[in-house]
Structure 1
Amino acid sequence: MSVVLPTLLGLAIGLAATPASARYLDIEDVRAMAFDKGIVRLEEIELNRRRGIWKVEGDDAYGHEIEMKVDAVTGRIIKLERD
């Protein structure tokens, strides 16, 4: 029991520190992702640090609006919507 408790406490502290110490994708990575998804004109790229999400808005080659949200740590596209 004396070994398990410090280990669990260490894991809990490590997990709590992960979001604050996580490294985010930089803006150039997100721009490249946007272009890969068909955005040809960027209107806005914004990082919400509290949520860890990049928000991207722009237009495709036909003038349709595209909104994309990207997990700033993993690079996973959370939302991709075309209007």
Structure 2
Amino acid sequence: MRVLTVLLGLAACSTLALASGAAFAQSIGIERVRQMAFDRGIVRLEEIEYKRRRNIWEVEGEDARGNDIEMHVDATTGRVLKMERD
């Protein structure tokens, strides 16, 4: 009986851990982020990277004049958190 109780407790903890992790999972895909970058003036993409710990997409590229652009996008909401041109 004790073994069954322990196993049920472990299963419940695992389910809670998975559910809480899912809340931070990305819902904005790379294609959407790519399109957002082009819509905001990036004409040449250098890198798009998903940062799991921060749950953001980091985008690096250039505009038509060759200026560097860095953009951070919230991976859940799609909101642009940072847009910086050098």
- TM-score normalised by the chain length of structure 2: 0.73
One of 64, 67, 82 as aligned partner of 1:61 = 64
Larger Rg: 2
Query: 1:21 offset after TM fit, Å?
Result: 1.0
For structure 1, list consecutive stretches of 5 or more residues without a partner in the other structure.
Answer: 1-12
Report the Cα distance in structure 2 between the residues aligned to 1:29 and 1:49, rounded to whole angstroms.
17
- Residue 82 of structure 1 pairs with residue 85 of structure 2: yes
- Residue 33 of structure 1 pairs with residue 47 of structure 2: no
Partner of 1:43: 46
Query: 1:24 offset after TM fit, Å?
Result: 2.2
Q: Which segments of structure 1 move beyond 2 Å, counting only runs of 4 or more?
A: none
Query: 1:50 offset after TM fit, Å?
Result: 1.3
Partner of 2:73: 70
Q: For residues 16-41 of structure 1, give each alpha carbon's deviation from its aligned partner in whole angstroms, at most 9, with x where no partner exists.
A: 81xx2144211000000000000000
Q: Which amino acid aligns with 2:78?
A: G
Report the Cα distance in structure 2 between the residues aligned to 1:55 and 1:82, rounded to whole angstroms.
14
Q: Which amino acid aligns with 1:75?
A: G
The size of the alignment, in residue pairs, is 67
Note the aligned Cα RMSD (angstroms).
1.4
Q: Which amino acid aligns with 1:49?
A: R
Report the Cα distance in structure 1 between the residues aligned to 2:52 and 2:69, rounded to whole angstroms.
22
Query: 1:57 offset after TM fit, Å?
Result: 0.2
- TM-score normalised by the chain length of structure 1: 0.75
